[in-house]
Amino acid sequence: MDKSDLILEKLDTMDKKIKRIDTNVQRMENDIKRMDKDIKRIDANVQRMENDIQRMDNDIKRIDANVQRMDNDIKRIDANVQRMDNDIKRMDKDIKRIDANVQRMDNDIKRMDKDIKRIDANVQRMDMDINCIKLTIENEVHTNIMRIAEGHLDLSRKLNEATKTNNEYEILTVKVNVLESDMKEIKQKIS
């Protein structure tokens, strides 16, 4: 598996993680909407309780005539308080679950950030390697091939003369090209 396949695989993995995060965010939004409904229901219950308390205050003034009605109101208030207590417990569980989801998302984002930085470093290193290969091909290989081809054009000359002078010239030219490439690479690393 080459580097580009690894990068594609990591990008695919990151895509999946982003989709999972989107799903978690959607779930969190749904939980928040549900909590909002619960809060509105609690507000309505609180408003009802305030009305009941006001009625209870009036009922106390008329205690002799309204004792039975006051008992029923107290039972209804107890039921509302019980319902509110259950709603508060459910909201507390929802908040803990949301907090765990946010923590998990934060960890996923941190992991993704590290992966992106590592991929970016790999891409930069690959760019440098590609540039070095291009420079080597342009400056050394291409030039050396041209020189060797030029040296072999004149095949009518005696083999001893062509070999003696051209071999030394070609060897020196190849060495100069290699040294020039090495110098360019050193300059590139320094800058």
Does residue 73 form part of some domain?
yes
How far, in Å, are 25, 48, 56, 75 from residue 62 at the CA level?
A: 55, 21, 10, 19
**Residue 170 tokens, joined:** 């070609």
**Residue 26 tokens, joined:** 């959607």
pLDDT at res. 103: 92
d(CA 24, CA 105): 8
Long-range contacts of 49-58 (CB under 8 A, 24+ apart): 49/77, 49/80, 49/81, 52/76, 52/77, 52/80
Residue 150, pLDDT above cutoff 70:
no
Of 129, 154, 145, residue with least CA distance to 177 = 145
User: Looking at 27-36, 38-47, 50-59, 160-169, which range is the least confident one?
Assistant: 160-169
Does residue 7 form part of some domain?
no
Domain count, the chain: 1
The confidence band for 153, taking pLDDT boundaries of 50, 70 and 90, is low
- Is residue 35 within 8 A of residue 91, CB to CB? The reply is yes
d(CA 80, CA 49): 8
Does residue 2 form part of some domain?
no
Does residue 160 form part of some domain?
yes
Which residues span the domain enclosing 45? Answer: 17-190
Does residue 6 form part of some domain?
no
Rounded to two decimals, what is the model's pTM? 0.34
Over residues 93-143, the pLDDT tens digits come to 988 988 898 899 889 889 988 988 998 888 888 888 888 887 777 777 777
